[in-house]
Structure 1
Amino acid sequence: MNKQILEDRLIDFAALIINVATNFEKNYAGNHLAGQIIRSGTSPALNYGEAQSAESKKDFIHKMGICLKELRESFVCLKIIEKANLTADLENLTRAKKEANELISIFVSSIKTSKASSDTGKSN
């Protein structure tokens, strides 16, 4: 997958998360988790943009790791939202969980590849 396709998927994911969050129950839990999921769900797109301008391979891996952490947080948050029945929009909630899971897999693989190519340049 090329950089632009991944960036587009992250932007689409962020937009999906925003749309999902706008349909939450209007109560303390709904408001709290709406804010939380919007922060964690939009962060990967923004941090991926930063990763593209990383100052070194180590910096790139670090920023990609932040994306991964935020995606994992989003995935867990989506599961909590589902269990707590905070939204009736189950179609988009399911889409968001599926995309989060796929993006997590992509980032795990990308970070492993980057670390492996970084390690081949080191001497023991």
Structure 2
Amino acid sequence: MRVVKLYEYLKGEKQEYVLAKQLLRSGTSIGANVEEGVAAQSTIDFVHKLSIARKEARESSYWLRLLHDTGYIKQTQFESIHTDCEEIIKILNSIIITSKAKLEKKTNS
């Protein structure tokens, strides 16, 4: 939701469309891929979907840094949303690592 609100702000207040649209796409893709992962048909599929979500989160981090470095978002705005983005990346990393370990353990049993 924060990405959608930031997109609206960038579009309306800053008249920035290209970078804002890139952030909107990658930022909303995170949740979509997590939802697909929840409905995965296997652990391998689950890990794959969450890996895509992690890649999209890393891309979102890039767009946020670029928007900050070009002056479209202020330091306080950046720190708040970028911290959330980094936390999402850490959570996804942890889930992926745990799921891979469980999959490996199941395979070796």
TM-score in same-fold range (> 0.5): yes
Task: Flag the structure with higher helix content.
Answer: 2
Partner of 2:78: 93
- In the alignment, the residues of structure 2 paired with residue 38 and residue 94 of structure 1 have an alpha-carbon distance, to the nearest angstrom, of 18
| CA displacement, residues 55-77 of structure 1 (integer Å, 9 cap, x when unaligned) | 00100000000110000000111
Q: Give the number of equivalent residue pairs.
A: 106
- In the alignment, the residues of structure 1 paired with residue 99 and residue 73 of structure 2 have an alpha-carbon distance, to the nearest angstrom, of 38
Partner of 1:44: 30
Greater RCO (Cα-Cα under 8 Å, separation 6 or more): 1
Partner of 1:31: 17
- In the alignment, the residues of structure 2 paired with residue 111 and residue 120 of structure 1 have an alpha-carbon distance, to the nearest angstrom, of 14
- In the alignment, the residues of structure 2 paired with residue 92 and residue 42 of structure 1 have an alpha-carbon distance, to the nearest angstrom, of 18
Partner of 1:21: 7
- TM value normalised by structure 2: 0.90
1:119 and 2:84 aligned: no
Partner of 2:90: 105
Q: Unpaired runs of 5+ in structure 1?
A: 1-14
SS in 2 for 1:85: coil
Share of identical aligned residues, percent? 30
Shift of 1:52: 0.7
Shift of 1:123: 3.4
One-letter amino acid matched to 1:18 = V
Following TM superposition, where does structure 1 have runs of at least 4 consecutive aligned residues deviating by more than 6 angstroms? none
Partner of 1:62: 48
Shift of 1:54: 0.2
Contact 1:23–1:87 (Cα < 8 Å) also in 2 = no
Partner of 1:75: 61
- TM value normalised by structure 1: 0.79
